[in-house]
């Protein structure tokens, strides 16, 4: 099974798993994930903290810690040139791919910048490390900073601590794009920012995607935040993919009980607290993942089949898939007003 947008994929993740050996057993933090990322689409990957979202992001760049064991394949298809399996590249090939082809933005810009180096130095160091023309590269850096509504002279001459959280995060986005990558993977890039700045950065990302013909993978726990940005959503729970589909369709007609529970747990200023329904129970231990459907212990629809068998993916519509035996019942009960594009309920 492949969760796909039906278009031209730039990334194909196949049977991707990550395991760590611990004193108390093997910890599986990503479990046989298959997904395609379409060229020039924005894919939102959502789920609770600890669900495996960040691990999927790391797998896309073969950036899992050395103590982890990564299996599977991550095929990258450049527009011009041969396709490569990211997990099979040498160290030098991987160094070139990260930044030049696939770049990543982490949560918390201050932890990504060297506090003893001005922002200009970070751009120059990156350009020099990859053998890029410094004059052309810094010209692009200035253009990117301007695109992100920053004053290039002020930002380039500043140290990281001299910038606000929103400014430093935008500077980090500019740095991630200075080598003209095709894919931008963003791991909770706005989690530390206030709501107004989050919305502002997402709007700028949409503009950057169009101007520079980017593909974006946006990792977040905040479903309504990414609903206003993404073309498709992929829902992860307990280190597995549970549902993938076009954002409007998945949000208005979810086909998995976990997605529905996420939607119902979203805070809403226009509704009373009584209408919110937190998800009962807790996510499974990665050392002791339950058999059958991993969501069964928390699911109100779970029956013996769910507890005994792992559900296959079912086609809800042409590009919408759900790994649930009871997906039709979920669709029938979906609240069409759960979340609209942009995050209102």
Place of tokens 């507890």: 307
Separation CA 236–CA 241 (nearest Å)? 5
Residues 259 and 202 in one domain: yes
- Per-residue model confidence (pLDDT) at position 107: 77
- Per-residue model confidence (pLDDT) at position 342: 41
Residues 172 and 195 in one domain: no
* Domain count along the chain: 2
How many other C-beta atoms can be found within 10 angstroms of the C-beta atom of residue 111? 11
User: Is 109 inside any structural domain?
Assistant: no
- Per-residue model confidence (pLDDT) at position 194: 86
Classify residue 71 as left (phi > 0), alpha (psi -120 to 50) or beta. beta
Q: In what helix (H) or strand (E) does residue 137 lie, and over which residues does it extend?
A: helix 134-147
At residue 177, φ and ψ (nearest 5 deg) are -105, 0
Helices (H), the chain: 53-60, 91-100, 119-129, 134-147, 152-156, 165-177, 195-212, 223-227, 247-252, 257-264, 304-308, 327-333
Q: Comparing C-alpha atoms, which of 184, 174, 40 is closest to residue 101? A: 184
Domain range enclosing 126: 117-180
Residues 248 and 336 in one domain: yes
Task: Give the pLDDT of the chain (345 residues) as one tens digit per residue.
Answer: 444 555 699 999 999 999 999 999 999 999 999 999 999 999 999 999 899 999 999 999 999 999 999 999 999 999 888 999 999 999 999 999 999 999 999 877 777 899 999 999 999 999 999 999 999 999 999 999 999 999 999 999 999 999 998 999 999 999 999 999 999 999 998 888 888 888 899 999 999 999 999 999 999 988 888 998 999 999 999 999 999 999 999 999 999 999 999 888 766 545 555 656 778 888 899 999 999 999 999 999 999 999 999 999 999 999 999 999 999 999 998 754 444 444 443
| Domain boundary pick from 130, 149, 180 | 180
Residues 6 and 140 in one domain: no
User: Is 40 inside any structural domain?
Assistant: yes
User: Is 193 inside any structural domain?
Assistant: yes
Residues 143 and 203 in one domain: no
User: Is 112 inside any structural domain?
Assistant: no
> What angle do the packed helices 165-177 and 119-129 form, to 10 degrees?
20
- Can you give the pTM of this predicted structure? 0.91
Pairing relation of β-strands 9-22 and 68-76? antiparallel
Greatest alpha-carbon pair distance for the chain in Å reads 65
Residues 155 and 67 in one domain: no
- Per-residue model confidence (pLDDT) at position 268: 56
Residues 210 and 251 in one domain: yes
Token output for 84: 């490569």
- Per-residue model confidence (pLDDT) at position 263: 87
Cα–Cα distances in angstroms (integers) from residue 265 to residues 176, 224, 262, 271, in the given order: 33, 11, 5, 12
User: Is 108 inside any structural domain?
Assistant: no
Q: Comparing C-alpha atoms, which of 253, 228, 257 is closest to residue 44? A: 228
- Per-residue model confidence (pLDDT) at position 58: 95
Token output for 27: 């910890």
Cα–Cα distances in angstroms (integers) from residue 276 to residues 48, 273, 332, in the given order: 16, 5, 20
- Per-residue model confidence (pLDDT) at position 222: 87
């Amino acid at each position: 099974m492949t969760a796909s947008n039906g278009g031209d994929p730039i990334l194909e993740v196949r049977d991707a798993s990550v395991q760590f050996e611990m004193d108390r057993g093997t910890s599986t933090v990503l479990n046989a994930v298959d997904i395609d990322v379409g060229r020039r689409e924005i894919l939102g990957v959502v789920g609770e903290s600890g669900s495996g979202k960040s691990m999927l992001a790391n797998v896309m760049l073969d950036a899992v810690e050395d103590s982890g064991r990564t299996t599977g394949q991550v095929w990258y298809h450049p527009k011009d040139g041969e396709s490569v399996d990211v997990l099979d590249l040498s160290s030098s090939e991987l160094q070139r791919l990260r930044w030049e082809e696939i770049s990543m933005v982490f949560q918390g810009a201050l932890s990504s910048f060297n506090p003893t180096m001005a922002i200009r130095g970070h751009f120059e160091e990156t350009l020099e490390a990859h053998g890029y023309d410094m004059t052309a590269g810094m010209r692009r850096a200035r253009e990117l900073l301007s695109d992100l509504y920053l004053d290039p002279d002020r930002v380039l001459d500043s140290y990281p601590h001299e910038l606000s959280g929103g400014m430093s995060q935008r500077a980090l986005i500019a740095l991630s794009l200075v080598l003209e990558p095709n894919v931008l993977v963003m791991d909770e890039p706005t989690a530390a920012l206030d709501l107004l700045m989050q919305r502002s950065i997402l709007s700028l990302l949409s503009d950057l995607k169009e101007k520079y013909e980017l593909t974006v993978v946006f990792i977040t726990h905040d479903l309504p935040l990414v609903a206003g940005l993404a073309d498709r959503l992929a829902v992860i729970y307990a280190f597995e993919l549970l549902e993938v589909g076009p954002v409007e369709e998945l949000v208005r007609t979810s086909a998995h009980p976990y997605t529905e529970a996420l939607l119902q747990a979203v805070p809403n200023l226009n509704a009373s607290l009584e209408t919110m329904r937190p998800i009962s129970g807790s996510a499974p231990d990665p050392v002791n993942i339950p058999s059958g459907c991993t969501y069964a212990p928390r699911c109100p629809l779970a029956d013996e089949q769910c507890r005994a068998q792992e559900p296959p993916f079912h086609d809800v519509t042409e590009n919408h898939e759900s790994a649930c035996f009871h997906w039709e019942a979920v669709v029938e009960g979906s609240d069409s007003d759960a979340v609209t594009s942009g995050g209102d309920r």
